[in-house]
Structures are given as structure tokens and as C-alpha cells.
Structure 1
């Protein structure tokens, strides 16, 4: 069973009488909105309290995760009220118990289980854990480092604002700095933002309750029993009837189930879109039959083709052109030329094999066999490329003609995929070598 370990600082495991009484009181706490305390354990690193584990993490994490728990389909007003209701019920029970006060109530000390029930943790253990000055801390306790039940009510109000707005803790447009917020809470009654002007009638009642909970005067703050009753009435108004604990839980699980279905559909659509993008890229780099074979079996068997035609071309005087061009101008030149070549290739039954520098290689008759039409298709493509180069103008050297050499040869050829990382579809045989030599030895 997974549990949560909380370090009990300043303890070596030899508990005094006061500490034993406190730990024994924790063991007797058993309420569904409070995490169960199982005992203590000692490791080399120190002594730890063993608490019940919240499978979905702390409430702060759930509020921040707007992908898994979207506002529109999951974190609606009804669910937010239910979350506040869970906390209020847990605190009402805790205040009535021998523990009496939490002292460290905040959204990171509220955990969510796999049934979407919020449970309060980190209560008790006051002999081991000291309270700190946080944005959830009541102003009177920021001044005197004390704890009280009314201070817990103030902390609940700050958590409630987090739940409603799903923004940063103690969100206010007038101040962003944490230290400044703490200072102004103590000196000028600064409070987080809640938009009363745009609130609906059902929201306004809850907003008024939250405002009373963070009142500057602790005596004017309601106790958790009143808070619990107020939120219970708000839930009843939503459903026009009183809702039992089981009804509430079933409703939450149904809501979470609907949200999961929506999330699965959304993620599936994203997966399909990414898969299609990957397939499109693969089909641009490798022949279609090769891509399908790699996806299905992970291997591609080399093939021997009896009749293919291979085309090679390169730019005449490419080295000289590079001397009068910057590196970026060379890239732009090759990109302009090869985009034109690629558009021509698309109109013929040929397959572009690769480009290396200024060399351009095309084949016909593989990987899709086309009888004895391979030579005709390559030659027609070559004539179209020559026509294109006849009108091509360099952007950075206008008026300078660009010539290409072309070599073509027909014959048998072997083809296969080479390599695992960045695999390449390569052609082998004398036909390839002959076509390459015809191109390199060609004359104008």
C-alpha cells in the first residue's frame, strides 16, 4: 500500500509524554475528509509520520492541471463547491476533535484521492512541526506566530479563492510580490481578488461567505459548522434537494468519467494528427512501400530490379559560383533550384533518391516497377529540367546563366534501406556507376 511520509523534525524517535499523547490522538482520527494517520517509522534519514496517500496529489496540483481537469467539462461551479464542502467538513470534524486546530491549512496540505474526494493532511504533530508565515496564514498569526480555529477559517477562505479562480495563491492584480503581500496583509488588510460585480446570485452567496471568513476581526469569522451548512445549502440549491455523501461521490465519479472520455478523444485526435504528420514526413524521405514495411515488420528486404533508369545531374562551375556567394546565398541558390526540380519530379513517374551538395539523383522503375517506360519518364523529366534551367535566374547574381550536366543510363539495379538512425534508401550496381560517370564526363 502506498503511503505518504512526513518528516517529524527535531525528533529521534524517543517521544516524551506530550508527544505520545498527540500521536495517540492522531491515531484515533478517522474521518473520510481527513487523511488517516498510521503511526511513525524511523529511518537513517530521520523519523517520519505515516499518512494516507492521495492518489491524485495535492489540491494545488489539481487546480494547476487545466489539461486533465478542464474548467468547461470538469471543474465547473458545482464541483468547486463540492471541493470546498469537503474541506469544510474535514475541518469541522477536526475542530471538534481533541486535535482542535490545524494551524497549517493550505492547498498543498489538501490531497485528492482516486474518487476525487478532498482530504486534509498534515494536521496535528504540533510538537514536531512548526507553522510558517505563508500566504494562507491569518494576519493575526503573521504578527504573533500563533494558531487558532479562526486562523484556520481564514486559511480556508484563501484556499476557496484558489479553487474558484484557479490562479496563483492569493491572486490579486494590485500586488504580485509574496513579501509585499504578507506585509500588506498585516498592515493594510490586503485580500485576494473576488469579482462580486459579475457574480451570479448563486455565486454571490458563496462569495459573501468567503469574505466573512477572511474578515480582519477573527471574532467576525464564522466557524466551520456554519461554513459547512452554507456550502451544503448551495449544493442543495443546485440539485433542488439534499444530497447524501454517496450521491455526491457518484456524481463526481460520473463527472470524472465523462471528462476522461473527452480527454481520451482529444488525446486520440492529437495522436492521429501527429502520426499522420510523421507518416507524411517518412513518405517524403523514403518510398511508400518501404515506409509501410518498416512500420509493419521493422525490416526492409533488399530488392533486385531488372530494368531501371538512373538520372544524375550537377551544376557546372558550382565551385566558382560559391566563390562569389556567401554561405546563405549558396543555400538559397540550391533551395531555389531543387524546389523547381522537385515540382517537375512530381509530374513524372519517377522517384527522387537524394541530393548531395549540387548533385541531384532520380530513378524510374523503382521502387514501383513500370515495365519499359522508365527510360521515357526519365528523359521527359530531364527535358523539363533543362527547360526550367534555361529560364532560371540567381537572386544574388542576376544575368549569370546556370548550366547543369546530366547523365542517364538504364540497366539492372539493387535497392535497399541502409542504417537504423536516419535510414537511407540506397541504389547499388553498375547502372548507378555508369550514370554517374556519364554525368561527370559530360561536355556542353
Structure 2
């Protein structure tokens, strides 16, 4: 290695591996049991290297050695063996006494242990051979080798293993110098005639073996002769390199300069945009108590009349009636009326807040009220919005005397959905404050959603009790939680209920509970969580799908509410693609209203509508609406076959025993309360109640309205909810008694038709009805008993069932039936969306 160092070949490109037997690598043994390191000794001075230089020259040297059959550490057993050998050398037959007195004979040779182990192995093999066969020839080497396989503890303290082929299993040590330039064993190689096992002692090869460097490549970079170095562009083309370097520096400086210039231009542009949304208080002119009149650009903009005021040809705009409220101030800004929303506290706007204001300034949608900016230098922090002449939707609902028809209300609901959809798809992502007060109406009777964004200001505003009636229950429970799109959909449903019923949220004025009690029950949630009534005027002929959509939007679980895009899609399907302008409809409606304003005609019309409503309500309670409408139109109702429907039978368990404990009036009251709960559950599903006979309850889905394969899911969900509702149902006069049901479900072909003239009934016929009845009568309390066909459709629909086994059914023989356990929650959401889309398309 000294010669290698002299040739400058001791670099990280080279590694030198010495494979030696009868060697201990970097340790050299001396007489008398002494030893020294390989780099120590007189030979190191041959090339003029010091001991330390010689030591460093061995940094790239690795040894593969057998350690002369010794363990890495000298054991007490080996020292005992050594002293025993020295002692026995002085005894017969050696008698080495005077000749062995020299200090160099004070320890045995390193190979003595290997020689002792070999002799011991031979002796054991001979002994085995003679034991097996006393007449055997101990000189027969082949015979002895048959008994040579063994394992024993050698004199060095380790195990000695001899294979059946007489080969000793060898331990080879992989040794190098560590970062402290001391010998270290990096690995062991366990070698026999069949295989070699490599057992490494290091964790990181680069750090532990190569001292932080990399393993040398198979061939040096410049070759073994040093003449194969790759071309050096900088060295060979220095002038070109300098020119390129200067050009790159210039390009980098130019790029930096251009970037700084672009940043500066962008900053100036941002400063200009910030001036657009900053409204100075001096620019806001206070409205005088006298009439403030100024020219108006168009007739549409000049319309200040209410919905019932009739047409006006005025070209003057009067704003005298607009006074300061608890939330708003009204000003004139650049010859336009604006509404200034008051905010409780002043906040220091961050760059993020300013960026939001710049983006809000450019938001533009036909159903979005334009925000003009913020007034920061006034006596109170104000957000400035465009003024809508007809006020809010809440004002129209509470004050307008004009009756709205179905198209009018539908158009307003569609406007709200479109505006909310635009907000959800914008950078704002959520409104968070949607109420009927924030739905403004311009002079063209178009909804303009206001009060969006500005969360950094509204977080400090107080929320009054009445405003909480629009907030979703999950947000009420966590007062400071982030607003969500699901919460907006809930608020949208409350606004729709206001519009459809022409009442305040939850009809709070006519409700027994106070606002605080309603809010408490909303936070509490549960099965009977309060919701606004959807008792709409029958004369409006409101689309039932619209009512179902509203109920879906205010569902208790946020995950089960449709997205606003799904709401828009369903509204579009309800309108049939009609894009008629609302103003045209309003003018037509006003003309019609004016032409029929005479008192006598109006009274007669009201009487007719009321009588028609009463008869329709009565008829719809007896027959399905579609069947009743055909009868009213004079059509003959022919029996109709439905290839697939799901029939539901239920019966109160031990009703006779329960009824015997009650008076007749109490029995009627009990059934009325029970069936009221059942009817409220049926309203949530596409299910028709055929009839009730005593405590028996018969329902069907899939007729008269065909709903594909959704009928089984509607019936199954209804049955599960009915069973669940019984856990909280209590009998008023017998609070300790509990109601339980037997439920039977079957799917199949059914014939339906109207039977009778005096008291016509919509009746079901077919073997499927009989089978459903048998499922109920052969069921068990609290369980939902389903047939084989119903089970097949339930599994396809994402429900879990359990086989009951074969049951003897009266009139049917032996049938395999099942218990309905519940709905698979993993597919419930997807199935619900598919069902809603299918249901909307059918409508």
C-alpha cells in the first residue's frame, strides 16, 4: 500500500481487496503472544513513510481473512488451551524444558487451535467407526469419512462444523479501516461446499464502509492508465465558455430586471383595482327627507311600484320611503341609489382580504347583486351594494297583496338556485348567509342574491335569533364553524318554503313555540326535528316534485342533501326547458288580474276554487291523484297491469289484546296517532297507501306511477323507518305499553283498477298481493319478512338480508324467505342520486 500511495493511486476511485488465509488482516502476530498493526514495524520506513502515513495509505484496503480459525475476540477457553499446551510441552514425550524457556515460546502458535480441532474431529470419527464395527480397519480413510460429519465446540470457544463431505464450514471476515482508522469487521462470510452466506454488520454502506463516500466504479473515470479522461469543455474551450458565462449572467440580470418590472406593473395595477372597491364616505350623499328626483335611464329602471300597484309611466324615481334600518343605510352614489350594509367592528384588511375584494368587484351574474366596495373612512364600516327597488323577497312575501301563481314562484326559485350555483362555482365557494332578506328583487322582478362573501367582516357581526332560522342544524350546533355548501342548500330550502307557503320562516307568528324553542329543537335534531310546513295553496297546483326537492334539501344529514347543481338540473327538468321571461309573465298576469277585478266575479271565483279544493282533497284521499284527475276529466278507468311493483303489508302485533284494554274511542285515537306517524313517513317516499283495515296497513310502490326498479328501495326504506319510529312512539293512555309490527314484502305483477261507483276504491289484484299478505302473517314481531323475489331485488338495490330458511306458507307450500336487515351504507348515496334523477325524468 505504500507503493500504491507513492503512485498516487490511493484515491476513492480504487479499492484494494486482499484475500488471505492464515491471516488476521491488519493484525500481525509476534512471538510470545504479542502482535502489532500492519502499518507498524521497521518495513514502513522503506519508502520514507511515517507510521501514520502508512496507516492512512491503507484507508482503501480491505481484507478477506479466516482470522486463523480464531474468534474475533480471544476467549478464556483459548487462553486455557494455550497455557495447557505450553505446560504439556515440558512433559513426556517432549521434555522441552530448557529449549522452551525463551519468551517467544510462552504462547502457542495460532494454528495450534486449528490443529487440535482437526485431530479431535479425526479421533471422534475413528471412535465412531470402531464403535459401529469393532473389526473395521481404522486405516480405511473412506470408512472414517462416513462418520466425519459433526458439530462441536472448538478450543477457540466457537462451534466447529464439519460437513458429511469432510469439509469444515469456514468463517471469512470482511475487514477494513473505519473513520477512526482502526480495523473493523464489516461482514462475515459463512462458506461450505454448497453455498456462501453473507452476513453484514453495517447499516449504510456509503457511511460505514466507504466513510461517507461512494462505492468505487468498476472502471476509473480516466481509465487504469489515466489517459482516458472525458473531454473538459471549460478547459478545451475557455474563450467560448467565458462568452457563454457572460451571456448567461446578462440574461439572468435581464430576466430579474424584467421580473421586477412586471412585479412593479402588477403592483400598480393592484393599487388601481384597490381604488375601485374603496368607496370614500364623501362620495356617499345622504338622501334628503324631501323627494330626491333624478332622471332615470330606462323605463325598467324607473319602476318603483309594488307588485300590486299596477302600471306606471313615471320617469322619476322617489326614494323618500327608504329609511335607515338596523342593518342598512341608503345613500346616493354617482347618481345611483346604493344600500350600505352596517358592520359591527372595524378590521385591518390583509392582502388576502384585499384580493377577495378585487375578485368580488368583478363578479357578474344576472342573479347576483353587484357589490360596489367598502367604505373604510366613514363613522362606521360599511359594505356598499347596488340598490334593488322592490326590496327583498321577505318584503314581497310579507307585504305584497298580489297573489303569485305557480310560474311566478317557480321563476323566483329558479333565480335563487342559479345565483347560488354561480357562487358555489366561483372562488367564494359558499354564501353562508342566505335568507329571504338577502334575496333582493329588482324592478324587473328578477332575484338578485346579496350579502355574499366578506366573511372577514361578517365574522364579527351579531346574528339575531330570527336569522338563525335559516341556518342549517349542524352549523347551529357549532356556532363558529365554517359555512358549507350543504348549509347553503338547507337555507335555500327554507327560503323556498317561505315562498311556496307565503309565510315567514317556520311560520313563526302562528307557531306555538318561540324562536328560541325552535332553534333549540333544531340543534337537538333527531327524528322529529322541526321543519317548515309545506301546506301550499291547492289552487296553485304546485309540482309535487318541487315539494320533494325542498324536503330533500333540508334533510337532517348534510351528506344526503343534493348539490346546488343537482337542484338546478331538477328545476330545469320540471320546467320542461321553458325559458319564458318573467316580466312578460308578470305583465300578462297583471292584465288578467285587472280584467277580472270585479268583486262579484272575484267572490264567485273564490267560492269555486274553495269548493274545487275541498272536492279535490277528498277525492285525492280516496284515489291516487293521477286516477282522480282522469275521473274528473271524464275518462274511463280501465284496469291496468303493472309488471313489477312492491306490495307492503303490516299488522300490529297482539292488537286484539291491546284493544281489549282500551275504550273504542281510545282505540280510534291510538290508530289515528300511529297512522299519522306512518303517513308522515310515507310522504318521504314514492309509496301509495292503498288502505287500512283495522290495524292492517297496505301500501304499494311502482303504481300508479311507474318508477323502474326503485319501488323495492322505496318500500324497503319506508319499512325500516316504520320499525325505527316505533322506538319513540308512546301510547298516551298506556305509556308502558309498546307497539310492534309484523311486516311482509313481496314483488311481482299486479293488476290495479277502480272498483265501485258509490264509494270507488283503487284496489290491487293478483297472486303477488296474496303472497305479500302471507309474508306478513308468517312473519315475526319487529322483523321485515320478504319473499325470494323481493330478496333478489333488495340485494341488487344495495340492501342486506338474511335467509330465514324454508317456511310452509298457507296456499303456497314450502317457500324460502328472508329477513330484511338494512341498507348497505357504502352504496346508499349513489343509489339515492340515481333514484332522484330517474324520478325527476319520469315527472
Q: When the two structures are superposed, what TM-score results if normalisation uses the length of structure 1?
A: 0.53
Question: For residues 377 and 590 of structure 2, what CA distance do their matches in structure 1 show?
Answer: 40
Structure 1 counterpart SS, 2:543: helix
Picking from 450, 454, 470, the partner of 1:121 is 450
Which residue matches 2:475? 141
- The change in CA–CA distance for 1:76 and 1:219 in structure 2 (over 3 A counts) is same
Picking from 552, 561, 568, the partner of 1:221 is 561
Which residue matches 2:581? 248
Picking from 22, 45, 56, the partner of 2:356 is 22
- The change in CA–CA distance for 1:11 and 1:255 in structure 2 (over 3 A counts) is farther
**Number of matched residues?**
253
Which residue matches 1:64? 398
Which residue matches 1:169? 505
- The change in CA–CA distance for 1:107 and 1:197 in structure 2 (over 3 A counts) is closer
Deviations 1:264-304 (A, max 9, x none): 999xxxxxxxxxxxxxxxxxxxxxxxxxxxxxxxxxxxxxx
Question: For residues 220 and 21 of structure 1, what CA distance do their matches in structure 2 show?
Answer: 34
Question: What stretches of structure 1 of length at least 5 have no aligned partner?
Answer: 237-241, 267-444
Question: For residues 489 and 357 of structure 2, what CA distance do their matches in structure 1 show?
Answer: 24
- How far is 1:196 from its partner? 8.5
Pairing of 1:334-353 with structure 2 (within 5 A):
none
- The change in CA–CA distance for 1:102 and 1:141 in structure 2 (over 3 A counts) is same
Structure 2 counterpart SS, 1:107: coil
Picking from 156, 162, 170, the partner of 2:492 is 156
CA contact (8 A) 2:411 2:582 kept: no
Structure 2 counterpart SS, 1:49: strand
| More contact order relative to length (CA 8 Å, sep ≥ 6) | 1
Which residue matches 2:735? none
- The change in CA–CA distance for 1:108 and 1:265 in structure 2 (over 3 A counts) is farther
CA contact (8 A) 1:25 1:99 kept: no
Picking from 160, 163, 184, the partner of 2:521 is 184
The answer to whether 1:6 aligns with 2:346 is no
Question: For residues 446 and 513 of structure 2, what CA distance do their matches in structure 1 show?
Answer: 31
Structure 1 counterpart SS, 2:455: coil
Which residue matches 1:342? none
Question: What stretches of structure 2 of length at least 5 have no aligned partner?
Answer: 1-335, 600-843
Question: For residues 197 and 127 of structure 1, what CA distance do their matches in structure 2 show?
Answer: 42
- How far is 1:16 from its partner? 1.5
Which residue matches 1:195? 535
The answer to whether 1:89 aligns with 2:423 is no
CA contact (8 A) 1:175 1:181 kept: no
Runs (4+) of structure 1 exceeding 6 A deviation are: 196-201, 262-266
RMSD: 2.7
Picking from 562, 567, 571, the partner of 1:231 is 571
CA contact (8 A) 1:63 1:163 kept: yes
- How far is 1:192 from its partner? 1.1
Deviations 1:74-115 (A, max 9, x none): x11111111110000000010000011111100011100000
Deviations 1:36-55 (A, max 9, x none): 11112245322211111111
Structure 1 counterpart SS, 2:470: coil
Picking from 111, 122, 132, the partner of 2:440 is 111
- The change in CA–CA distance for 1:203 and 1:39 in structure 2 (over 3 A counts) is same
Pairing of 1:275-286 with structure 2 (within 5 A):
none
- How far is 1:29 from its partner? 1.0
Picking from 42, 48, 55, the partner of 2:389 is 55
Structure 2 counterpart SS, 1:10: coil
CA contact (8 A) 1:57 1:113 kept: yes
